[in-house]
Every structure is written in C-alpha cells, then in structure tokens.
Structure 1
Amino acid sequence: MSREQLAAEALQAGKHSLHNLRLIRKQPERMLPGRMENAEEYLDRMIRFAEVEMKNARLAGRTLGLRTRLKSLVLLILTAPSDKHKRDSV
C-alpha cells in the first residue's frame, strides 16, 4: 500500500474517530465495562494522527489547492470533444 493510500485511510479514520469519541462520551453505557478509557485513548490517538497527517500532506504539497482543481476542470472542459463536432463528422 502506498504512502498516499495510508494517509487517506488515516484521515478517514480520524474523521470517524471524532464521531465515535463523541458518541461514546454521550452514551457511555454502550461501552463494555472497563473499556471506556482504552477506547477514548485509542480514538484520541487516531484523531491526533490524522491531524498530523493533514499537516504533513499540506507541507509536502499533496493536497490540491483550489487553483489547481480549477485549472484541471477548465482543461478537462476545453479538451473534451463537443457534441457538435461529433455530428459534423458523421
């Protein structure tokens, strides 16, 4: 698995961890007895890991900025064959 894939999975896990942490704090009775502390520690670690990974991705330039995304979309639109051109060639 590539570093980018691992980073994407870490970010996703971090997002889910934040939701899960809120959920177990609201409804602690759903947790197994004696597991609350371990679960909170694990979820906190996952959230911190995701935050660090997001910072690393920005520093490494792996996240696309708005300008880059817009350039890609414009280029895609400009290079896409039009319907009119298809009708003329038939």
Structure 2
Amino acid sequence: MTREQLAAEALRAGKHSLHNLRLIQNEPDRMLPGRMENAEGYLNLMIRFAEVEMKNARLARRTLGLRTRLKSLLVLILSSPEQKRKGESV
C-alpha cells in the first residue's frame, strides 16, 4: 500500500471514528460492559492520527503549490514579450 493510500485510509477512519465516539458517548448501552474505555481510547487515537495526516497533507499541497506557482511565474517572466523585444533590438 502506498503512502497516499494509507493517508486516505487514515482520514476516512478518523472521520468515522469521530462519529462512532459521539455515538458511544451518547448511547453507552450499545457497548459491551467493560469495553467503553478501550473503545474511547482507540477512537481518540484514530482521530488524532487523522488530524496529523490532514496537517501533513495540507503542508505537502501548500509546498507543491508554491513551487508550481514560482515555476509558472519564472517561465512567464522569461518568455515575456518585453524581454524578447529587448533581445531583438540589441
């Protein structure tokens, strides 16, 4: 499994974990006796993991976007009509 697939799976699990955590807190009788603490701990762990993955994904996209924008601006500046005219007149 690739890193991107694992990150997507973690995000999905985190979103579902938040819903499930609210559900078991609102309706504790649905849980087996003695399992409430373990379930809450696991769901909180999955939520934190998903939050970290979302932060990492945002940072990666921002970095990639900035790099792409800078490349585009550089290409635009280098291929500008004024630059070509200056080169032709010399």
What TM-score results when the alignment is normalised by the length of structure 1? 0.67
Q: For residue 36 of structure 1, what is the amino acid of its counterpart?
A: M
SS class of match (1:33): coil
Q: Name the structure with the higher helix share.
A: 2
1:2 matched to which residue of 2?
Answer: 2
Q: Which amino acid aligns with 1:24?
A: I
Counterpart of 1:33, as a letter, is P
Amino acid at match of 1:50: A
- Report what 2:50 is aligned to: 50
Residue ranges of structure 2 left out of the alignment (5+ in a row): 66-90
Deviation per CA, 1:43-89: give whole Å up to 9, x if none: 00000000000001111128x98xxxxxxxxxxxxxxxxxxxxxxxx
Which residues in structure 2 correspond to 1:70-89 (within 5 Å)? none
2:74 maps to none
Residue 12 (structure 1) aligns with: 12
Counterparts of 1:30-41 in structure 2, within 5 Å, are 30-41=30-41
Runs of 4+ in structure 1 off by over 4 angstroms are none
Q: How many residues align?
A: 64
User: What is the match of residue 25 of structure 1?
Assistant: 25
The TM-score, its normalising length taken from structure 2, stands at 0.67
Structure 1: gaps of 5 or more residues: 66-90
